[in-house]
A and B are shown apart, each in its own frame.
Chain A
Amino acid sequence: MTILTAIIFVPILAAIAMVGIGTPAKKTALAAAAINLLFAFVAWAQFDPAVAGYQLAGSFPILSKPELAFSVGADGITIILLLLTTIVTLCAVWMSPADKDDNKLFHVSSLLISAGALGAFLSTDLFFFYAFHELALIPTFLMIGIWGSGDNKRVAWKITIYLGLGSLVLLAGLLALFITSGSSSFSFDSLQTASQSISPEIQKWVFLPLLLGFGTLVSLFPLHSWAAPAYASAPTPTAMLHAGVLKKFGLYGLIRVAVPMLPEGAQAWTNLACILLLGNILYVGLVTIASRRLDHMLGNSSVMHMGYLFLGVFSLNTIGLNGAVLLMFAHGLSIALLFGLASKLRESTGTLEFGRLGGLGKSAPVLAFTFALGAFASIGLPGFTNFASEVLVFFGGFKDYVDLPIASKSLGALQITTILAVLGVLISAIYMLRAYRAVFQGDKPVPEEGDPEITAADLTFSQRIPVTILIAALIITGCLPFLLLRLLDSTTQLLAITP
């Protein structure tokens, strides 16, 4: 049993303890999250970035033919996602609404989402990789359906069917990959080796369901319309955990499974991916500008930023891939921060409609300040990890162009896409600053006849701690991105198609 197995099972054990022994809900969840964060740091310290391949690995065989094992392992990408998941879990549990402090089912669900995400990221076996993600989705649906706000029942159904179908397509793709590769084992390593023999034509058709399946889970345009209502309606920790962590599963799958195992397939669909990701950045960006509620705006913005991640992945080189992984980390933290703060705001104001809010910076200065930091991080301001990773993604998009000989330099599809994607930094500035202006700056709107006056409560001391953790993580890794990037070098070299 390695530390990675322990990390997966700590939340599950905590959930069992909560239900079985009856330990206090929130405290147990917090303790489990804190222990996991500590474990994640230990794993980070033990990890040797110079070594390629999985480290800290452990395996528990289950079937021999086909070979199936509960096996875990970590490489650079996993360590970064592990840090992301444990940080966000701690903050998400901490920022759960106070009236749910004793609600066991609520905290069990949060912990299960975390455990599922950890399992999916840490598994080095295709079966468990998929199964753990499904495990995490179920409590997500439940939490939205039971404790969500607004039209939560309908939204819960919508996301269940949407993501269920996406997972189904994904499953078909994964099965196709497993069958066509002829591998005798579900482990990533042997699949990677076996998949080399798949012919380009078959790769192309196996890659498509993977792209669509993973794409649905990451809200790739035009499969994105579940995201904004789901996040708007989800309770605080669910929105933080799903948008921050669980959604990254699809990208992780593309990086870990689809692209390296089906390189020709990936290249065949790069142009399609470019168009779709521009749909995310430009089209959904415009939708975000038109949002009239803070939670919808944040949900759409998170969809929009997925475009950058896809750009990083589909640049297919190490620079872009490093950028994508770093951006997963950055986006996870910043969107969790923003969702957490928005929920806190809703708890005291009762609404997130722009038209009914305004000038709250006066009554809630700390909330306004931290939200500003989150917004700045989200629009990719230097000093936050988001900037470093977006720069890497953009440079990744231009890598081919640099490598062309000087006489025959011409802009390819990827470069055009990158240039258009840079336009996203403008779009995101527009919607974020407009939202900030509408909520925290300017006059307070006069409430309509009969409506109570809207005031915002500032963050309490206890709420400031998780917020500080998230901001500190963003700033530290933003100013010193090499702290994380050095973990990635030997990993992404294996996974990228071009250096």
Chain B
Amino acid sequence: MLSVPWIILLLPLASAVIITLVTHRNASLSALISVASAATTLALTIWLLAQDTVATSSFEWIKVGDSFTISLGLIVDKLSQGMMFIVTAVGTAVHVFSLGYMKTDEGKSRYFAGLSLFMFSMTGIVLADNFVMMFIFWELVGVSSYILIGHWFEKNSAAEAAKKAFIVNRIGDFGFMVGILLVWGLTGSVYFEDIEAALPGGIGKHILTTATLCIFAGAVGKSAQIPLHVWLPDAMEGPTPVSALIHAATMVAAGVYMLARTFFLIEFSNAGIFIAWIGAITCLLAALMAIQQDDIKRVLAYSTLSQLGYMVLAVGVHNPEAGMFHLYTHAFFKSLLFLSSGAVIYACHHEQNIWKMGGLRKKLPITTFAFLCGTLALTACPLTSGFWSKEHILHAALDKHGSVALFSIGLAVAFLTAFYMGRLFTVAFFGKPRDHASEDAKEVPPVMWIPICILSVFALFGAYKMFWGPLKILHPAPPAHSHPFILYASIAAFLLGIGSSYLIYRHKNKDPLHIPLFANRFYIDNFYDLLVRFGTNGLAYVAKSIDQILIDGLAVRGSAKITSSAGSMLRRLQVGNLQGYAFLFGFGIIVVIYLTLFSRS
């Protein structure tokens, strides 16, 4: 008997399968099925939120003998309930928005099948009760992301981006798998519950830290932390709703969710400080890169990186509640920003360069308002949801596992966030249209602006208890020692950032600031390109040459050569003359006779 959580999990899969096998020729029907499945899972999730405990069955997926079993089972607790709400709510909004955005796309069926597959995989990550199951769905979100980034696969850049995303993620997955093996080796279990119970049993701290960091590598890949962050900006090649759902709100946050789920590992090991610093560095570098991007989606992508850095930082300083809370608010305001940027792009006939936009405020009033809501929340305007969640993170950074350095980075990023978002908003929405694309922009249809408006409400007010309470979102406890300084500092950072950017970018037609280091993303991408070209490809070329020259050439063909040259030497003996043979024959006989008769001594 399938319980409700199983239905939530399997319904999107059923939708994906039906679209692929049956309705792939009928695009509108496919879209309808996919949207219906998303909406149903949202409804079921809301029902689920009202339950305290839900009994779910698990089934044995792999069983070897009596000692080794891996089951697929579901966890329904506060953490997964809250996360499920985020996934299904944003998911449904994105599905509905896509009805408008992808209306005339050729591969609409494929697109919606991909979305459904993604919903299935993401739900699996959230509900997984053990590492292997989480890894399964971890890989599957990677595939759905690959499919959706590469939706327009005939475009070279999209195909490259999809490939890059998958491969970079696999680097992280390598660490994740090794981490799972190590944890299994240390505790004898892959189930979260059992591992947590086994940890106090005297496991060596160093090896546990190693294992935790290996698992963290998975999160680094999926949540695009430095040094594996390079795929996320490129992933913007996918359709914009996909960027909103997968590459802003849910999948990239899966790393953070996973860290929160397995927080006991960080608690018992020394990995926290390392994780916190990775988060902080990502946070800072990504914010700096965002300042110099011209593509509206890329600005948002770097902003996502930076915000994910915040969340990882929070988990690293032993405050997963703060990380999860920011994940929740971020999911709404960032998907809002992406969807409204999608609306902008749609209205501007797929123009993405902010320097070709301008004056959109008058052409797209609803979208502008929604984008403003998102911007305010992201820049932590006081009283919006983003403000509160960021407050918690800044507090956590100063807490007993944090440090002043981490806090200062967090504060600096708060300023930078306000600055780059102010820049984006000023350039794209104020001033005059700079290009005909933005001149004849028209407001998007309701199927696109209605989901945006709903998300706006969450973006502004999501941090109040009337929202997160019933949604069972993890909410950090108020800090033990409240520093009023933090409050003032972050308000100051916000005002300073917005104000300075408005002053700098007002009435400008091209970027007055020019910082090549930031614009070129600290040359990290170039460095990786070199690394791949001379590292992997070079190594591969060397291996291939060794294979051809040494193994196939020297060893295999060499031995063949020796055999054949030995043959051609022996061939000389074959004179072909009857009398020659007869002579040798006689000579042989004489030798034999000599040996038998005279060499007895």
The reply to whether A and B meet directly (CB within 8 Å) is: yes
B521 at the interface (CB under 8 A from A): no
Name which of B63, B163, B537 has the most chain A CB atoms within 10 A of its CB. B163
B544 touches A290 (CB 8 A): yes
B207 touches A409 (CB 8 A): yes
A16 at the interface (CB under 8 A from B): no
Residue of B nearest to A424 (CB): B174
Which of A318, A359, A422, A436 is B64 in contact with, Cβ under 8 Å? A318
Residue of B nearest to A228 (CB): B547
A409 touches B177 (CB 8 A): no
Interface of B is mostly: helix
Could you tell me the distance between the alpha carbons of A481 and B60 in the complex, rounded to whole angstroms? 10
20 other contacts beyond A287-B544, A443-B154, with CB at 8 A cut-off? A225-B551, A283-B546, A286-B539, A288-B540, A290-B541, A322-B64, A362-B154, A382-B137, A383-B140, A387-B136, A392-B62, A395-B181, A419-B181, A422-B177, A426-B170, A426-B174, A433-B167, A441-B162, A442-B154, A499-B65
Give, as a whole number of angstroms, the nearest-CB distance from A137 to chain B: 18
B539 touches A415 (CB 8 A): no
Give, as a whole number of angstroms, the nearest-CB distance from A310 to chain B: 18
Chain B 134-178, CB-CB to A under 8 Å as 1, else 0, gives 011101100100100010011110011011001100110110011
Which of B61, B177, B547 is A225 in contact with, Cβ under 8 Å? B547
Chain A 417-460, CB-CB to B under 8 Å as 1, else 0, gives 01100110110011001101100111100000000000000000
Known contacts A287-B540, A361-B154: does B171 contact A426 (CB below 8 Å)?
yes
Could you tell me the distance between the alpha carbons of A394 and B186 in the complex, rounded to whole angstroms? 15
B203 at the interface (CB under 8 A from A): yes
Known contacts A382-B140, A395-B184, A433-B167: does B62 contact A425 (CB below 8 Å)?
no
Which of A84-92, A141-149, A335-343, A482-490 is the contact stretch? A482-490
Which of B93-101, B393-401, B510-518, B552-560 is the contact stretch? B552-560
8 Å CB contacts to B: which residues of A10-25? none
Which of B146, B177, B555 is A394 in contact with, Cβ under 8 Å? B177
A409 touches B204 (CB 8 A): yes
Give, as a whole number of angstroms, the nearest-CB distance from B65 to chain A: 5
8 Å CB contacts to B: which residues of A309-332? 318-319, 322
On chain A, the residues within 8 Å of B537 by CB distance are 289-290
On chain B, the residues within 8 Å of A437 by CB distance are 159-160, 163
Known contacts A225-B552, A381-B139, A409-B207: does B64 contact A485 (CB below 8 Å)?
yes
8 Å CB contacts to A: which residues of B170-202? 170-171, 173-174, 177-178, 181-182, 184-186, 188, 201-202
Q: Which 9 pairs, one residue from A and one from B, show the smallest C-beta to C-beta distance?
A: A441-B159, A286-B543, A290-B544, A290-B540, A382-B136, A289-B540, A401-B185, A225-B552, A441-B153
A158 at the interface (CB under 8 A from B): yes
Total interface residues on A, CB under 8 Å, equals: 65
Give, as a whole number of angstroms, the nearest-CB distance from B567 to chain A: 14
Residue of A nearest to B68 (CB): A319
Which of A381, A392, A395 is B143 in contact with, Cβ under 8 Å? A381
Which of B67, B181, B203, B207 is A398 in contact with, Cβ under 8 Å? B181
B273 at the interface (CB under 8 A from A): no
On chain B, the residues within 8 Å of A433 by CB distance are 146, 163, 166-167
On chain A, the residues within 8 Å of B551 by CB distance are 222, 224-225
Could you tell me the distance between the alpha carbons of A382 and B124 in the complex, rounded to whole angstroms? 12
Give, as a whole number of angstroms, the nearest-CB distance from A203 to chain B: 26
Which of A162, A395, A423, A489 is B556 in contact with, Cβ under 8 Å? A162
A376 at the interface (CB under 8 A from B): yes
8 Å CB contacts to B: which residues of A360-381? 361-362, 376, 381
Could you tell me the distance between the alpha carbons of A441 and B161 in the complex, rounded to whole angstroms? 12
B132 at the interface (CB under 8 A from A): yes
Could you tell me the distance between the alpha carbons of A291 and B544 in the complex, rounded to whole angstroms? 8
On chain B, the residues within 8 Å of A283 by CB distance are 543, 546-547
On chain A, the residues within 8 Å of B64 by CB distance are 318-319, 322, 392, 485, 488-489, 492
Residue of A nearest to B147 (CB): A372
Give, as a whole number of angstroms, the nearest-CB distance from B179 to chain A: 10
Could you tell me the distance between the alpha carbons of A426 and B176 in the complex, rounded to whole angstroms? 12
A402 touches B188 (CB 8 A): yes
Residue of A nearest to B532 (CB): A430
A345 at the interface (CB under 8 A from B): no
Give, as a whole number of angstroms, the nearest-CB distance from B550 to chain A: 9
A482 touches B181 (CB 8 A): no
B536 at the interface (CB under 8 A from A): yes
A–B complex contacts, Cβ < 8 Å, 29 sampled? A162-B556, A225-B547, A225-B555, A226-B556, A286-B544, A287-B544, A290-B543, A291-B544, A376-B143, A381-B143, A382-B137, A383-B136, A388-B62, A391-B62, A391-B132, A394-B181, A398-B182, A406-B201, A409-B207, A422-B178, A425-B173, A426-B174, A434-B163, A441-B159, A442-B160, A480-B61, A482-B60, A482-B61, A489-B65
Could you tell me the distance between the alpha carbons of A5 and B111 in the complex, rounded to whole angstroms? 50
A382 touches B139 (CB 8 A): yes
Give, as a whole number of angstroms, the nearest-CB distance from B66 to chain A: 9
Could you tell me the distance between the alpha carbons of A474 and B546 in the complex, rounded to whole angstroms? 35
B159 touches A425 (CB 8 A): no
Known contacts A291-B544, A409-B207: does B167 contact A429 (CB below 8 Å)?
yes
Give, as a whole number of angstroms, the nearest-CB distance from B198 to chain A: 9
Could you tell me the distance between the alpha carbons of A422 and B218 in the complex, rounded to whole angstroms? 13
On chain B, the residues within 8 Å of A401 by CB distance are 185
On chain B, the residues within 8 Å of A98 by CB distance are none
A407 at the interface (CB under 8 A from B): yes
A442 touches B139 (CB 8 A): no
Residue of B nearest to A419 (CB): B178
On chain B, the residues within 8 Å of A492 by CB distance are 64
Could you tell me the distance between the alpha carbons of A429 and B166 in the complex, rounded to whole angstroms? 8
8 Å CB contacts to B: which residues of A146-166? 158, 161-162
Give, as a whole number of angstroms, the nearest-CB distance from A399 to chain B: 8
